[in-house]
Structure 1
């Protein structure tokens, strides 16, 4: 079975609706797909209701987290699988981060406006279509004005990668792992060697996260070179972590396709057996 454990829909910064995403996953020949929108479970019900026969949906989220082990904190993303969405402490943290994303978007629009770029908050919210607001929605506004050609170009340092980028109120990394575990979920570190996204976590930090309950680590990812994947596998062996592979699919916001990277079925079965918050859904 081909398994893709990291995808995004219009519930956050993807371009496919949850319903369209699961249909495309079936067309791509996947047996299981995880919906892991940023800091939200909004797309779960729609994706579950639209499941094609034989496709399994792993409900999850990608949590905006931050490691504060050094003077300059490092942003990290934590994939949380099969947790109970009704677990109040985790739900409250996700709600707080979503509010912070809204406030950040407003402040970034103000920075752009100050430089004479006529992006509006209402336009950015329109692109978000009621989902979690992210930088790709700002990028689409820049594309519309002909200032950049692609989302990747919008994420370069002269635009949303540095000059107009602001921080949001992420969840402390250790608190995020604890909350996911308390909610019956399974925490996996997303794209840990993706240096194009910013500073990467040192191995010592990942060891601390593993000791705190991190279950797995994403090795096969579009932003990882072959040497990165080899290093992650070696580190995972040393720390007793499971290794996953995923597309991090965002629809037309990225060039990667569903199922371009996948997770070993044995790791998937272990993940499902570990979770106690909720269970995968399979289309009838």
Structure 2
């Protein structure tokens, strides 16, 4: 059997799409639980406990893999791996803070611009060529962000910048993933993400420890389970189908998280948020399509 035939067989697009949609459901639930817990307890403590389970998950995967944990941790670019792991941990803290201040609807509407930011930053960071069509899509996407944030409507709320900062951080993290992938496997990057993130968040979060109610420990356990299962589904998704085929369906997280925010937390869906989010998603889908065409 040729390599090309093997690749065709492993590219099960319907399965990949189903797994991506399932992933977005799980991550939306994770964001909703994070919003609840971070409203009651310090964000650093919540993220720290979440990372403990994440680290246990990646170590368990490393133990079962060929070569064990030592093989999973082997890298020639530890500085890069540490940087991207710390950046993701910080991004999660910023994102969860945004959920508590702005809610799920508005936070996710702005955060949806991260594919556009990846496209914009891929030139200066990775040296990739960004054509005029993608630059036009990026500009349109940022018009969508302005529509959501309404900077000219009365007194601008500076807290509205939080999800945008989170999106910038996640975009840089995504680009560092691409850079790391030139020399390290996905398993290695995943291992460093979980273990370094756990160490960093423990060093910071342990100072914010506070007693947690028994019912909230159940929510915390559910949060950790959704985090692990979400990452597992995402790994299976990219194993089943090419990323370019399934990535557009990641926008369903915006839909599910917004529905959760309205149904559970009583958030409202403002007209400007709907219009802005639609523009951002359309621009992002165009950017993904251009990357697939050029790839």
TM over 0.5: no
Q: Which is bigger in relative contact order (C-alpha 8 A, separation at least 6)?
A: 2
Bigger fraction of residues in helix = 2
**Greater share of strand:** 1
Larger radius of gyration: 2
- TM (norm. structure 2) is 0.28
